[in-house]
A and B are shown apart, each in its own frame.
Chain A
Amino acid sequence: MSRVACVRVEAFAAAAVERCEPALREQPLVVVAGAPPATRVVEANARARAGGVRPGLTDAEAGVRCAALVRRPVSPDGEAAARHALLEACLSVSPRLEDAAPGLVHVDLDGLGLLFGDDAGIGRRLRRHARAVGLEARVGIAGSRAAAGVAVRFGPPVHVLAPGAEREALSAVPLATLEWPAGLAATFARWGLTTLGDLAALPRQGIGARLGRAGLAAHDLAAGVDRAPFRVWTPPPFWEEGQGLDWEIATVPGLVPVLERVLARLCARLTAAQLLIDVLEIRLALASGGHHARSVALAAPLDEVAPIVALLALEIDAHPPPAAVTGVALSARAVPRRAAPRGLWQPPVPASRDLATVLTRLTLLVGGANVGTPLALDSHQPDDFTLVPFDGRPPAGDDGPGQRDGAATSRPIAGPLALRRLRPPRPVQVDTRDGRPIRVRDTTALDATITTAAGPWRLSGHWWDTAAWAHDEWDIALPDATVWRLSHDRLTNHWFLTALYD
Chain B
Amino acid sequence: MLVDWLLRQGAITELVGPLSSGRTSVLALCLRVLTRRGAFAALVDVDHAFDPGSAVAAGVELRHLLWVRGEGRREAALRAVDLLARCPGFALVALDVGESSPRLPLDAAFRLRQAVRRSGVALLVLGARPVVGGAARLVVRTRRDRLAWMGSGPMPRRLAGMRTGLHVVRKQGASWPAEPEPLWWTA
Contacts and interface: CB of A to CB of B under 8 A. Distances in A.
A375 B28 contact: no
Ranked nearest first, the 8 interchain pairs of A and B with the lowest CB-CB distance are A350-B89, A405-B36, A374-B52, A347-B39, A502-B24, A417-B185, A370-B69, A475-B159
A356 to B, nearest CB: 10
B25, B71, B181 pick with most chain A CB within 10 angstroms: B25
Contact of B50 (A374, A436, A477): A374
Nearest to A405: B36
A436 B151 CA distance: 15
Contacts of B185: 414-418
Interface of A: 346-351, 354-355, 358-359, 361-362, 365-366, 370-376, 382-385, 387, 390-392, 394-395, 398-401, 404-405, 408-409, 412-423, 436, 452-455, 457, 475, 477, 481-483, 499-502
B157 A454 contact: yes
B7 to A, nearest CB: 13
A500 B38 contact: no
Interface stretch (B73-81, B104-112, B169-177): B73-81
Nearest to A384: B53
Nearest to B185: A417
A362 B70 CA distance: 10
A299 B56 CA distance: 24
A7 to B, nearest CB: 41
Interface residues of B, number: 75
Contacts, number: 210
A88 B67 CA distance: 38
B89 A354 contact: yes
B140 interface: no
B155 interface: yes
A369 B115 CA distance: 26
Contact of A366 (B24, B28, B53, B73): B73
Contacts of A420: 19, 24, 49-51
Nearest to A455: B158
B78 to A, nearest CB: 10
A383 B67 CA distance: 15
Contacts of A372: 66-67
Contacts of B137: none
A405 B31 CA distance: 12
Given A347-B39, A376-B62, A408-B36, A417 B70 contact: no
A418 B62 contact: no
B32 A408 contact: yes
